[in-house]
């Protein structure tokens, strides 16, 4: 007799799919990011260099999807003139602090100021300079130890005969004054991988040790070779021991020249380093973008290491299993839309005068300075189409502009009867191409197509009509990126008479 027995085996559930993100997490020019976690919400702030409003801020619930919430300063602090670098976010006793670097008007030296607020939506109150140190003090980082506040900074970068050094000192309880004697953390090694530089430090504690990530070598521009080192100490005041395997993070073809960021710990105790790096495809034309790298721990040696090796990951496991959302495109029709574009401007000039009147954006022209009223946006990716629909005016050029600085810009504009492509290179204005257009065309679409942020095609058209004579103009502008920042794209108005623009719509679409 045969017996058949049916057996049921419990199947293991399939492993949950790993949710990943792709770098950058904060696209576009967002150097020297500082990040804090308040409860379950993260806040980040970054360098704005010579752009206003100063210091863009973002918020996120997962470190991957970030939303722009505004600048630290709508109006520049009175003592400053530019070089708005390396802001440090700090939170204590229901108060947000920004310790920031800026260049002083009176002597053009860079020092560290501080501002605070109880409510990010209401803006920050500036308290002025907190560290004035020889010829330069930059890159503040604040940490709390046993109830006391300490500030650290980079010193002696412009002092002849002195090695660059990271210093620290105690702060007052309210965080607004330096009250303690300075002490040394580390000195830069001119003969080693640091290349004589040490900056952009972030300090955090785990177990019995204080840990520091810091950056060395050249930060910026096409010849950059930025890298990240690591050190630790049992006491904040030291002695600090540099890791024998430095550098622990360096560039590759995907992400170049990584460094200068902040370590933040998630609620489930994962350690992430939000820092900057140049995209390998767009490079300096896209600026130093906000990228995320995870640290993991060797419990035997008590040293951390980057989870995906010594280069910035292109793709990595997401914090909190959250999918990334791309929200870079925008389109505004001023006749019906209320979206406020986060315009930036060159702090060399006064903030441009503009308003939305009727069905158009009205920018006030300045007859003496052709690019002083430029309004731009941060470019998130090198491949994009930027379009503006413009009501043609008789005496004013209305332009779409790629803007490096006041001495280097590229514009494509229209006035009655004429389309014109022009450039300002090393301060010299030059018309590159002119084209006559019929007077019957009263509304013109100007379009810029960009490839990798450096190859441009300018074209124009009339909505709903075929214009045979509207041939595009192509060119490369490799001279536009500045040493420490990327070009912006936007709009302006210029001419020999006072007046206001008639810009009906603006659109950015990334490819």
Alpha-carbon distances of 201 from 100, 138, 188, 228, rounded to whole Å: 14, 11, 12, 9
DSSP-based three-state secondary structure for 246: coil
Residue 435 scores a pLDDT above 60: yes
pLDDT score recorded for residue 13: 67
Domains 20-321 and 330-510 share a fold: no
pLDDT score recorded for residue 469: 61
pLDDT score recorded for residue 190: 87
**Residues ≥6 apart with Cβ < 8 Å to 242:** 186, 229, 230, 231
Of the residues 29, 32, 165, 346, which is catalytic?
Answer: 32
Q: How far apart are CA 127 and CA 118, in angstroms?
A: 14
User: Is the separation of the CB atoms in 508 and 384 below 8 Å?
Assistant: yes
pLDDT band for position 276 (cuts 50, 70, 90): very high
Per cent of the chain over pLDDT 70 is: 96
Domain ranges for the chain: 20-321, 330-510
pLDDT (tens digit, 9 = 90+) per residue, 350-394? 999 999 998 999 999 977 678 999 999 999 999 999 999 999 999
- Residue 152 CA, chain-centre distance (Å), reads 22
Instruction: Identify whether 32 is a catalytic site residue.
Output: yes
Length of the chain: 511
Q: Give mean pLDDT, residues 270-284.
A: 97
pLDDT band for position 3 (cuts 50, 70, 90): very low
Q: How far apart are CA 316 and CA 307, in angstroms?
A: 9
Q: How far apart are CA 491 and CA 409, in angstroms?
A: 12
Strand-pairing partners, residue 109, are none
Looking at 3.40.50.2300, 2.40.40.20, 2.60.120.200, 3.30.450.20, the CATH number of the domain 330-510 comes to 2.60.120.200
pLDDT score recorded for residue 331: 95
**Residues ≥6 apart with Cβ < 8 Å to 93:** none
Instruction: Identify whether 502 is a catalytic site residue.
Output: no
pLDDT score recorded for residue 372: 93
User: Is the separation of the CB atoms in 44 and 274 below 8 Å?
Assistant: yes
Residue 10 scores a pLDDT above 60: no
Q: How far apart are CA 5 and CA 267, in angstroms?
A: 50
Least confident of 101-115, 194-208, 485-499: 485-499
- DSSP structure string for 178-212: B-SPPEEEEE--TTSTTTT--EEEEEEEETTEEEE
DSSP-based three-state secondary structure for 36: strand
Of the residues 29, 165, 170, 199, which is catalytic?
Answer: 199
What's 25's DSSP letter? S
Residue 498 scores a pLDDT above 90: no
Looking at 3.30.420.40, 2.115.10.20, 2.40.110.10, 2.60.40.10, the CATH number of the domain 20-321 comes to 2.115.10.20
Per cent of the chain over pLDDT 90 is: 86
Q: Left, alpha or beta for 410 (phi > 0: left; psi -120 to 50: alpha)?
A: beta
Residue 2 scores a pLDDT above 60: no
Global pTM reads: 0.94
Phi, psi of 285 (to 5 degrees): -70, -25
Q: Which residue has 């049921």 as its token pair?
A: 8
pLDDT (tens digit, 9 = 90+) per residue, 35-72? 999 999 999 999 999 999 999 999 999 999 999 999 99
User: Is the separation of the CB atoms in 435 and 469 below 8 Å?
Assistant: yes
pLDDT score recorded for residue 439: 86
Tokens of 123: 């803006």
Tokens of 161: 């005969």
């Amino acid at each position: 007799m045969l017996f058949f027995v049916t057996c049921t085996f419990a199947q293991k559930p399939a492993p949950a799919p790993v949710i990943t993100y792709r770098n950058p997490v904060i696209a576009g020019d967002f150097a020297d990011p500082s990040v804090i976690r308040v409860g379950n919400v993260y806040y980040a702030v970054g360098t704005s260099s010579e752009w206003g409003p100063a210091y863009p801020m973002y918020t996120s619930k997962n470190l991957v999807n970030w939303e722009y919430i505004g600048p630290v300063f709508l109006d520049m602090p009175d003592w400053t003139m530019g070089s708005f670098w390396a802001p440090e976010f700090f939170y204590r006793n229901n108060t947000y602090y920004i310790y920031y670097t800026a260049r002083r008007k009176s002597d053009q030296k860079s020092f560290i100021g501080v501002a605070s607020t109880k409510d990010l939506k209401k803006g920050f109150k500036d308290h002025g300079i907190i560290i004035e140190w020889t010829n330069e003090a930059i890159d503040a980082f604040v940490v709390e130890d046993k109830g006391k506040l300490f500030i650290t900074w980079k010193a002696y970068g412009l002092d002849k005969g002195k090695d660059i050094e990271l210093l620290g000192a105690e702060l007052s309880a309210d965080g607004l004054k330096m009250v303690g004697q300075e002490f040394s953390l580390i000195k830069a090694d001119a003969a080693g991988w640091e290349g004589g530089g040490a900056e952009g430090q972030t300090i955090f504690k785990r177990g019995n040790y204080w840990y520091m990530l810091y950056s060395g070598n050249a930060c910026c521009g096409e010849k950059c070779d930025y890298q990240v080192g690591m050190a630790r100490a049992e006491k904040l005041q030291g002695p600090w021991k540099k890791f024998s395997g430095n550098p622990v993070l360096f560039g590759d073809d995907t992400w170049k020249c990584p460094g200068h960021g902040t370590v933040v710990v998630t609620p489930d105790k994962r350690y992430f380093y939000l820092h900057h790096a140049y995209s390998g495809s767009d490079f300096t034309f896209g600026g130093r973008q906000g990228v995320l790298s995870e640290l993991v721990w060797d419990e035997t040696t008590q040293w951390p290491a980057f989870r995906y090796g010594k280069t910035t990951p292109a793709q990595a496991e997401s914090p909190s299993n959250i999918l990334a959302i791309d929200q870079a495109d925008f389109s505004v029709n001023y006749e019906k839309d209320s979206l406020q574009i986060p315009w930036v401007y060159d702090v060399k000039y006064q903030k441009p005068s503009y308003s939305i009147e009727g069905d158009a954006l009205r920018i006030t022209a300045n007859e003496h300075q052709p690019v002083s009223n430029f309004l731009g946006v941060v470019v998130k990716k090198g491949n994009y189409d930027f379009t503006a629909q413009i009501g043609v005016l008789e005496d004013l050029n209305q332009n779409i502009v790629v803007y490096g600085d006041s001495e280097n810009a590229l514009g494509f504009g229209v006035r009655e009867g004429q389309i014109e492509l022009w450039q300002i290179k090393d301060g010299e204005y030059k018309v590159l191409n002119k084209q006559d257009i019929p007077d019957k065309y009263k509304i013109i679409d100007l379009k810029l197509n960009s490839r990798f942020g450096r190859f441009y095609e300018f074209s124009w058209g009339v909505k709903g009509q075929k214009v045979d004579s509207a041939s595009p103009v192509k060119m490369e502008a490799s001279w536009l990126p500045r040493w420490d920042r990327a070009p912006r794209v936007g709009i302006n108005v210029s001419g020999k008479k006072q007046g206001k623009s008639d810009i009906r719509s603006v659109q950015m679409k990334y490819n």
